Amino acid sequence: MPTPPNAPDSAIIALLGDGYSNKRIATELHVDKVRVARLRREHSIPNVVQQPLTLEQKWATRTRPVEGGHLEWVGERATASGTPVMRYKEAYYSPAAVAFEIKHGRPAEGYVRADCGYKQCVAPDHVNDEAGRQEARRKLRAERGLGDPSQECSRGHSQAEHGRFEPDGTAYCQMCKVLDKRAQRFGKPSLRPRAASLEDAFRLRTKPTSGGHVCWTGSFNNSTPSLRFQHVNHSPYRIAFRLHHGRDPEGQAKPACGMPHCVAGAHLEDRPMRQRTNSLYDAIFGA
């Protein structure tokens, strides 16, 4: 709509009365902002009270629901990494952290991200902070019957402070991870990676082979696989059995696959299982 180059005072006063800001009127009518401000003073029209969006409101305007309950970030992203970022009142925020606070009503502890599989999802129901993620993994660990993690790692770090869990519930020492990374960066010769948990130590000494068998690469005691962890000898058969079945074996756990020293969890049998197998044989071939 073409506006006369020099709008009359009445046009400006009309818009002032409608509650528009000086800046908006100046732009709209192509007039000087100073003139608008002078007319506002002369007519005692109060300044427009700015009603900026809250952090959460601004966050919401930059999200878009995606199938599966996910929430896509359609706002700003960091140039190099593509990580969602949000600017609010001169400060930068993580949209995932804002989502966390919306859901939990408290600031996140540590790095916030979603574990739902949708890349950089910012759905409040899908994001978690470090503490929440660790708690979920601890539950998974308990469900898998892996037991409580050790009090100390093999280097003596307190696991109450430095203990963490992998997505599958395996325990590891965060401090050792940091130290190992640092050692790698400075090119120090790396020893065998330090195990933070018994199952970790077990995993570091196994190698899958063909046929689904798992080869024991650790030490032996009287030609039986043996694993020394935190000054105690453990049976790799028992560990493998527990990892696979989620329970301790009754009696001895031994491979039933015919491959000597196989530590594939699915190939191990304990006493009740052996008895069942034997009675099955008896039933088929006669006792």
Which of residues 76 and 180 has its CB atom nearest to Zn ion in the complex? 180
Give how far the C-alpha of residue 229 lies from the chain's centroid of Cα atoms, to the nearest Å.
Answer: 29
Does 264 help bind Zn ion (rule: CB under 5 A)? yes
Which of residues 31 and 123 has its CB atom nearest to Zn ion in the complex? 123
Does 113 help bind Zn ion (rule: CB under 5 A)? no
Contact 248, 242 (CB under 8 A): yes
Which residues does residue 227 pair with via DSSP β-bridges, in sequence order? 234
Burial of 88 (0-12, 13-18, 19+ CB in 10 A): middle
Q: Choose one: 173-181, 197-205, 221-229, 276-284; the region binding Zn ion (CB under 5 A).
A: 173-181
Nearest to 169 by CA among 143, 132, 201, 131: 143
Does 215 help bind Zn ion (rule: CB under 5 A)? no
Q: Choose one: 12-20, 75-83, 116-124, 182-190; the region binding Zn ion (CB under 5 A).
A: 116-124
Side-chain-side CA neighbours of residue 138 (13 Å)? 11
Which residues does residue 214 pair with via DSSP β-bridges, in sequence order? 208
Contact 228, 236 (CB under 8 A): no
> Which of 40, 58, 141, 157 contacts Zn ion by CB under 5 A?
157
Tell me if residue 241 falls in helix, strand or coil.
helix
Q: Shortest gap between Cβ of 88 and Zn ion (angstroms)?
A: 22
Which of residues 85 and 259 has its CB atom nearest to Zn ion in the complex? 259
Does 195 help bind Zn ion (rule: CB under 5 A)? no
Task: Say how many residues make up the chain.
Answer: 287
- Residue 225 has which token pair? 């696989």
Which of residues 118 and 229 has its CB atom nearest to Zn ion in the complex? 118
> Which of 123, 146, 227, 239 contacts Zn ion by CB under 5 A?
123
Does 126 help bind Zn ion (rule: CB under 5 A)? yes
Residues that bind Zn ion (CB under 5 A): 70, 114, 116, 118, 121, 123, 126, 153, 155, 157, 173, 175-176, 213, 257, 259, 262, 264, 267
